């Protein structure tokens, strides 16, 4: 594959290539880097990966990432009355947290509807979302999905499901560019989008 006649190195490169965004060239460069590290450094790298993977889990309530059974945001009693913000992924929770503009709970869908990729409502945390909303704890749900075609379609689907419950439904205001990822939007743009959220 790489012309490197060492089976252990070939295997390392193959494993590195399973990481997102890592092609053959990057994998080869990373492998060469690792092979020149002192053994103790390699051990630290391996341990950091293992420790993070073993410690981090899905929050039992919101499905964001946490090192506890339930995350710090879900445990915060002051946030229980602030509405429920629906996002695609844990990174989006932290992006919105950085704006300081939302003081409620979150619900991470773990993706968006994507029929082409075989992602239907059952593959997402939609059933769990509906259970949380039916509990009557939340007066408002903020749909904060990425402004992509799939995000928009998911918003429309969720709004139709939630509307019969009589919960106020809002979504992020325009200002977010189409095709953008909330994770990479600057804080001010995201803040404006949250402040100008619209009723659905």
74 or 145: CB nearest Zn ion: 74
41 or 68: CB nearest Zn ion: 68
Among candidates 143, 125, 119, which has minimal Cα distance to 59? 125
For the bound state, the minimum distance from the C-beta of residue 71 to Zn ion, rounded and expressed in Å, comes to 3
Give me the residues that bind Zn ion (CB under 5 A), please: 59, 61-62, 64, 71, 74
62 or 193: CB nearest Zn ion: 62
Output the six-digit token pair for 74: 């879900």
For the bound state, the minimum distance from the C-beta of residue 95 to Zn ion, rounded and expressed in Å, comes to 16
49 or 80: CB nearest Zn ion: 80
For the bound state, the minimum distance from the C-beta of residue 108 to Zn ion, rounded and expressed in Å, comes to 8
Report the C-alpha gap between 121 and 16 in whole angstroms: 32
For the bound state, the minimum distance from the C-beta of residue 83 to Zn ion, rounded and expressed in Å, comes to 14
Cβ atoms of 172 and 193 within 8 Å: the answer is: yes
């Amino acid at each position: 594959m790489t012309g490197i006649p060492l089976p252990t190195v070939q295997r390392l490169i193959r494993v590195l290539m399973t990481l997102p965004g890592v092609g053959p060239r990057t994998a080869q460069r990373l492998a060469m880097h690792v092979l020149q590290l002192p053994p103790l450094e390699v051990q630290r790298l391996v341990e950091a990966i293992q420790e993070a993977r073993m410690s981090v889990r899905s929050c039992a309530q919101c499905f964001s990432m946490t090192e506890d059974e339930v995350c710090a945001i879900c445990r915060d009693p002051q946030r229980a009355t602030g509405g429920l913000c629906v996002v695609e992924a844990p990174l989006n929770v932290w992006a919105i947290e950085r704006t300081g503009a939302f003081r409620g709970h979150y619900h991470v869908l773990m993706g968006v509807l994507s029929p082409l990729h075989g992602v239907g409502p059952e593959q997402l945390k939609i059933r769990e979302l509906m259970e949380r909303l039916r509990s009557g704890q939340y007066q408002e749900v903020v749909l904060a999905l990425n402004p992509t075609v799939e995000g928009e379609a998911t918003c429309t689907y969720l709004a139709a499901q939630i509307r019969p419950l009589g919960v106020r439904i809002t979504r992020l205001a325009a200002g977010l560019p189409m095709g953008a990822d909330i994770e990479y939007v600057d804080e001010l743009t995201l803040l404006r989008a949250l402040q100008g959220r619209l009723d659905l």
